[in-house]
Amino acid sequence: MTAVIGLGSCEAGPTPAGFLRNPPGGVADLHWEHGRWTVPAEDPHSLRGLRVHWPDGAAEGGVEGAAEGAALLAPLLALATAGVPLHAAEVPAWAVRADPVFAELLAHGDWLAATPRDTPNCTAALRREEHSVRLRRHGLARRGGGDPPGTPTVSVVMASMRPGLLESALGQLARQRGVRAEVLLGLHGFPAAHEAVRRAVEACPLPVTVVEADAATPFGDVLNLAASAAGGDYVAKWDDDDWYGPDHLSDLLLALSYSGAEIVGTAAEFFYLEPLNVTIRRTDYTSEVWSDHVAGGTILLRRDRFRETGGFPGLPRGVDAAFLKAAHAAGARIYRTHGLGYMLRRGASAQHTWQLPLAHFLRVASNQWRGFRPSRILAP
- Considering the domain 153-262+289-335, what is its CATH architecture? Alpha-Beta Complex (3.90)
Share the mean pLDDT of the chain: 92
Residue 24 has pLDDT above 50, yes or no: yes
Distance CA 327, CA 89 (A): 47
Residue 151 has pLDDT above 70, yes or no: yes
Which of 247, 283, 289, 301 has the alpha carbon at shortest distance from 366? 283
pLDDT tens digits, residue range 314-372? 999 999 999 999 999 999 999 999 999 999 999 875 454 556 789 999 999 999 999 99
- Residue with the larger pLDDT of the pair 48 and 150: 48
Q: Model confidence at 128, in pLDDT bands (50, 70, 90)?
A: very high
pLDDT tens digits, residue range 92-101? 999 999 999 9
Specify the pLDDT at position 40: 84
Nearest 10 degrees: CA dihedral of 354, 187, 159, 211? 150
Specify the pLDDT at position 11: 61
CATH 3.90.550.10 domain residues, the chain = 153-262+289-335
Specify the pLDDT at position 69: 82
Residue 257 has pLDDT above 90, yes or no: yes
Which of 220, 286, 290 has the alpha carbon at shortest distance from 262? 290
Specify the pLDDT at position 53: 95
Residue 108 has pLDDT above 60, yes or no: yes
Q: Work out the percent of the chain whose per-residue pLDDT is above 70.
A: 91
Residue 64 has pLDDT above 80, yes or no: no
Report yes or no on whether pTM surpasses 0.75: yes
Specify the pLDDT at position 9: 59
Mean pLDDT of 164-172: 98
Specify the pLDDT at position 63: 65
Number of Cβ within a 10 Å radius of residue 191? 12
Specify the pLDDT at position 62: 62
